Chain A
Amino acid sequence: MLTYREVLSTLEMLKNEHLDVRTVTLGISLFDCASREPVEFIDAMSAKIESCARNLVKVCDEVAVRYGIPIVNKRIAVSPIAVAACPCGPDRMVEVARAMDRAAQNVGVDFIGGFSALIEKGFTRGDYALVEAIPEALAVTEHVCSSVNVASTRAGINMDAVYLMGKTIKKAAALTGERDGVGCAKLCVFANIPQDVPFMAGAYLGVGEPDLVINVGVSGPGVVKKAIDRAREANPGLDLGQLSEIIKRTAFKVTKVGELIGRRVASELDVPFGVVDLSLAPTPNVGDSVGEIFQSLGLGSIGVPGSTAALALLNDAVKKGGAFASSYVGGLSGAFIPVSEDLNIARAAERGFLSIEKLEAMTSVCSVGLDMIALAGDTSAETLAAIIADEMAIGVINRKTTAARLIPVPGKRAGDKASFGGLLGGATIMAAPGAGSSEFVRLGGRIPAPTQSLTN
Chain B
Amino acid sequence: MRKIIVSVLGHDRPGIIATVADVLFRSGCNIEDVSQTLLQTEFAGIFIASCPESLEQDELLDRLRAKLDPMGLSALLREMEETGIWEPPPVEPFVITTLGPDRLGLVAGVTELLARFGVNISNLKAVFRGGDDPNANTMIYEVDIPITVDQRLFREALRERGTELGIDISLQHREIFEAIHRV
> What is A's interface to B at a CB cutoff of 8 Å?
1-2, 4, 6-8, 10-11, 13-15, 62, 65-69, 253, 256-257, 259-260
B172→A257 contact, CB < 8 A: no
Q: A7-B95, A68-B172 are in contact. Are A13 and B180 (CB under 8 A)?
A: yes
A65→B151 contact, CB < 8 A: yes
CB closest residue in chain B, given A66: B151
> What is B's interface to A at a CB cutoff of 8 Å?
92, 95, 97, 123, 125, 135, 138, 140, 142, 151-152, 155, 170-177, 179-181
Which of A6, A15, A66 sits near B177, CB closer than 8 Å?
A6
CB closest residue in chain B, given A14: B172
Q: A1-B123, A2-B140 are in contact. Are A11 and B172 (CB under 8 A)?
A: yes
A65→B152 contact, CB < 8 A: yes
Task: A14 to B176: give the CA distance in the assembly, Å.
Answer: 10
**CB-defined contacts of A260 to chain B, threshold 8 Å:** 175-176, 179
- 24 A–B contact pairs at CB < 8 A? A2-B95, A2-B140, A2-B174, A4-B140, A6-B181, A7-B95, A10-B172, A10-B180, A10-B181, A11-B97, A11-B170, A11-B172, A15-B170, A62-B151, A66-B92, A66-B151, A67-B173, A68-B176, A253-B179, A256-B179, A256-B180, A257-B179, A259-B179, A260-B175
**CB-defined contacts of A256 to chain B, threshold 8 Å:** 179-180
B117 CB to nearest A CB, Å:
15
A2→B177 contact, CB < 8 A: yes
Task: A253 to B181: give the CA distance in the assembly, Å.
Answer: 8
Q: A4-B125, A8-B135, A256-B179 are in contact. Are A14 and B140 (CB under 8 A)?
A: no
**CB-defined contacts of B171 to chain A, threshold 8 Å:** 68
**CB-defined contacts of B174 to chain A, threshold 8 Å:** 2
Task: A10 to B171: give the CA distance in the assembly, Å.
Answer: 12
B180→A66 contact, CB < 8 A: no
Given A2-B142, A260-B175, 16 more A-B residue pairs with CB atoms under 8 Å apart are A1-B123, A2-B140, A7-B177, A10-B176, A14-B172, A15-B170, A65-B151, A65-B152, A66-B92, A66-B173, A67-B175, A68-B173, A253-B179, A256-B179, A257-B176, A260-B179
CB closest residue in chain A, given B127: A4
A1→B142 contact, CB < 8 A: yes
CB closest residue in chain B, given A324: B183
B172→A67 contact, CB < 8 A: yes
**CB-defined contacts of B151 to chain A, threshold 8 Å:** 62, 65-66
B135→A67 contact, CB < 8 A: no
B125 CB to nearest A CB, Å:
7
A45 CB to nearest B CB, Å:
34
**CB-defined contacts of B155 to chain A, threshold 8 Å:** 65
